[in-house]
Structure 1
Amino acid sequence: MSSPCDPANASAGDVGAALMVVDSRLKALYDGTGVPDPRQQELLNQYAASLGPQGIEALVDGACTLIYMFMCWLRAAYEDHEKDPIEEVVPSVVATMRMMPKTFRPEVIPTMAGLLVAAGTGLSPNLWRAQYGRWTAAEMNPLEATAVLLADHINRITGDDHEFATRLISNALSQAERDEDEDMVEGDVRADE
């Protein structure tokens, strides 16, 4: 039986823009300053300012898609070692959230943990969240930070390769684009016959 939270029913959103934001935050984290590059931050701010309500919604959906993709990768990686991905990821990420009270107010931590569990069990994080109403402004920074924490978790377990998680998604997006182009060519060939 299909779930209303099945990822096939979810909008992928603007994954590229969400990945750009996560990558910027990771670089700031790894350079030791914790502060994003001013030029890149200015570009991100300009981009965010240019988005209308639909663009913001697409960016939120894109962040949820990143969380889903990261958790799928982590699930496969941990299950290969006969470990439970929920048990391995969620407590660690939640503990980090609790150490960041300016980003993660106590009342948003259960929602972010729920997103991780939903994604870790194969559900769409954005559809899971939609069951409880609209996103709140207080959840926007925690959503972004949750995606960053997952990317950092992946980077750490892959031998501190600071770009592994970003490459993982970039490669998946490139492959999806190639597959889409091939499908279009095949469709054109069938239409010509």
Structure 2
Amino acid sequence: MSSPCDPQYAPVGDVGAALMMIDSRLKGIHDAKSGTDPEHQALTRQFAASLGPKEANDVLDGACTLIYMFMTWLRKAHEDQHKDAIAYVVPSLVASLRMMPKSIRPGTIPTMAGLVIAAGTGLSPNLWRKQYGDWTDEEMNALEATAFLLAEHINRITNDPDFATRMITEALSSADED
């Protein structure tokens, strides 16, 4: 029996824009050691501010699609090692989110853990979240941080700072070819 949270029923959203924002954060963090590029940060902020409600919702759905794709990859990678991805990923994610109290409200952390668990069990994160009502403004930073932390986790596992972005870009390219 299929679930109402099955990914086949979920909107994909604007994965490209969501990936651009996550990749920008990844590069910003890694470039912080050598000095961040204020012009790049300003362009990213300007892009986010230019989104209308429909476009913002599409980017939100795209971020959920990224979380789903990242967790699918993590689940497969952990299964190859006979490990449970949820047992390894969720505690680390929660601990990292808790270390950001200025930008991540503590009340949003259980929702983000739920999103990751939903994705890790093959459910659509955005449909799982939708059953509890509309997204809140406070959840937006937490959602972006969750996608960022999952991408960073993948990059650390692969020892490749661009692996997560490249993986999604290649998936998008192959989908366009189909």
TM superposition score normalised by structure 1: 0.89
User: How is 1:98-113 mapped onto 2 (pairs within 5 angstroms)?
Assistant: 98-113=98-113
| Structure 1, unpaired ranges of 5+ | 180-193
Counterpart contact for 1:68–1:120, Cα < 8 Å: yes
Q: Secondary structure at the match of 1:43?
A: helix
Q: What corresponds to 1:191 in structure 2?
A: none
Deviates more, 1:28-37 or 1:92-101: 28-37
Give the direction of change, closer, same or farther, for the CA distance of 1:36–1:64 in structure 2 (3 Å limit).
Answer: farther
The code of the aligned residue for 2:97 comes to: M
CA distance, structure 1, for counterparts of residue 47 and residue 31 of structure 2: 23
Q: What corresponds to 1:79 in structure 2?
A: 79
CA displacement, residues 133-170 of structure 1 (integer Å, 9 cap, x when unaligned)? 000000001100100000000000102x1100000100
Q: Aligned residue pairs: how many?
A: 178
User: How is 1:87-106 mapped onto 2 (pairs within 5 angstroms)?
Assistant: 87-106=87-106
Q: Secondary structure at the match of 1:104?
A: coil
Q: Secondary structure at the match of 2:8?
A: helix
Q: Secondary structure at the match of 1:170?
A: helix
Q: Secondary structure at the match of 1:146?
A: helix
Give the direction of change, closer, same or farther, for the CA distance of 1:126–1:35 in structure 2 (3 Å limit).
Answer: farther
Give the direction of change, closer, same or farther, for the CA distance of 1:24–1:80 in structure 2 (3 Å limit).
Answer: same
CA distance, structure 2, for counterparts of residue 28 and residue 34 of structure 1: 10
Identity across aligned pairs (percent)?
66
CA distance, structure 1, for counterparts of residue 126 and residue 37 of structure 2: 29
CA distance, structure 1, for counterparts of residue 163 and residue 14 of structure 2: 20
Q: Secondary structure at the match of 1:67?
A: helix
Deviation >6 Å, runs of 4+:
none
Q: What corresponds to 1:124 in structure 2?
A: 124
The code of the aligned residue for 2:6 comes to: D
CA distance, structure 2, for counterparts of residue 142 and residue 15 of structure 1: 17
Instruction: Give the Å deviation of 1:5.
Output: 0.3
Give the direction of change, closer, same or farther, for the CA distance of 1:88–1:123 in structure 2 (3 Å limit).
Answer: same
TM superposition score normalised by structure 2: 0.96
Q: What corresponds to 1:177 in structure 2?
A: 176
Query: Cα RMSD (Å) of the superposition?
Result: 1.4
Q: What corresponds to 1:23 in structure 2?
A: 23
Q: Secondary structure at the match of 1:112?
A: helix
